Amino acid sequence: MTDRNPLADAIDTALTGNDSERWPEKIPVRDRIALLLDPGSWVEDGLLANALTDGMPADGVLTGLGTVDGRPVAVIAHDFAVKAGSWGELTVEKQIRILERADRDLLPVFYLVDSAGGRLTDQFGFFHGSRGASRIFQLQVALSGRVPQICCLHGPSAAGGAYMPAFTDWVGMVNGNASMYLASPRVAEKVTGEKTTLEEMGGAMMHATVSGCGDEVFDSDWEAIAAARHLLSYLPDDWRSAPAAAEPRLPRRSDWPADVIPSTGGYDVRDVIDRVVDADSFFEIKARWAMEMVVGLARLNGSVVGIVANQPSVRSGAIFVDSADKAARFISMCDAYNIPLLFLQDVPGFMVGVAIERQGIIRHGAKLVTAMASAEVPKITVILRKAYAAGYYAMCAPGFEPRATLALPGAAIAPMSPEASTNAIYAKKIDAIDDPVEREQFVADKIAEQAADADLLNVASRLIVDAVVQPGDLREEIVKRFRSARGWSRSGNRRNHVISPV
């Protein structure tokens, strides 16, 4: 894969026994299903749909049941070799029936999407009625947060059908083949006058880096399918259960040199994650989008956890509109599927300025805070270096009831950085000092006073931090804290919430 996707090792493991070299870039639909499911487990429905019409086998979509690592799942797989996987009346009916089955039996659903959209020659079949395509979306939303819905986008997902991937929990897109768009470039030119390309308007890399509609980009069909199989191992069968535990593994790295978290400047928070979670278990989500925030699933001593971490190496880890949405949706998914949350804070706050306010940073930030505050799964917060302003709140401050707030030595918590708060409090007095040397000394003294207020010992003495932990002891401390929360329960016996699209 290009730049070797971080899921590559997991993909290689998932495909042990399969010779990836024999798979072409565009795999026929039945071979896609064979890659996805356990051998011999596929049970197909509606095979003879439209059997009396020439060139329409199964009416362009395969639906049925199978198992992934022994776990029953439902499958929708579009056949690009039949009318470009387009939807007619029976195509839609087959998809509705399998989703109704998944709804009734609470089965995870895999979508292998490769469809040119609705057949305009059959519009009264797929578009208008109560068994039209709108019923598919109603069922997808009904399933959201109740069972995992995982999408591999192998080709186009056009017009109204573009919403099928959008309602799923994860979308893996095949670079160069996959696309999502409400209108083709030709239609867009007719409507708006703008000239563009399919790749620019709805290609895999655009959606993974700009729109956020794609979670990961792969170079081939088999890689996307293998990643989808691997993702299911982190998720429960349905909202009533928890993800299965695996054999514990030690972290990839156990050393903590000083430059892992330097006193100032940027660093890659993944280097911290690698030293906390089980080796090679971090499954990052939306890695190419809103990169100032890192989210993903991992195993901690064998148990699944969700990680929400600021990324100091990208825009100082400040929270922007997209990163707020990214974290909010991930938190919502973890809460729906009973996955405990670990927050790793190194945040200067929400981004400020005219442009960001006009983008609605308050509204998007509120979505993040709402998702985090509403999550009932056990939460633990770790202050890695700094936690300033409302970013501290959004990353699960003590007022939002984490099971514990931990901090590494030297961490600081304050409404602003000492430099910013000094300027805010003493701006007029600083301006009134004419002597540059005196002014510089005054500012330095006031910064030192503000830093003392944010000092970790001062903060911990006020019960804001539950424990100060040495880096080498951080993993074990988190493991113990989560272990003590194993008996957690929800506030009521209710269906979990929908996982809203970004």
pLDDT digits (tens, 9 = 90+) for 257-276: 999 999 999 999 999 999 99
| 54-79 pLDDT, tens digit each | 678 888 899 999 999 999 999 999 99
Mean pLDDT, all residues of the chain: 89
Region 11-26: what's the mean pLDDT? 53
Question: Which of the residue ranges 13-22, 51-60, 432-441, 478-487 has the most confident prediction, judged by mean pLDDT?
Answer: 478-487
Q: Report pLDDT for 9.
A: 52
Rounded Cα gap, residues 323 and 238, in angstroms? 27
Per-residue pLDDT at 452? 76
pTM to 2 decimal places: 0.90
pLDDT of residue 53: 74
Backbone phi, psi, residue 347, to 5°: -130, 125
What single-letter DSSP state applies at residue 52? T
154 or 50: which leads in pLDDT: 154
Strand 170-174, strand 341-347: pairing = unpaired
The encoded tokens of residue 288 equal: 């190419």
User: What residues contact 379, with CB distance under 8 A and at least 6 apart?
Assistant: 340, 341, 342, 343, 372, 396, 400, 401, 402, 403
Report the amino acid identity of residue 247: E
Nearest Cα residue to 175 out of 141, 134, 209: 209
Q: Is the pLDDT of residue 483 over 80?
A: yes
Provide the CA 17 distance to its chain's centre, in angstroms.
Answer: 29
Residue 382 has pLDDT above 70, yes or no: yes
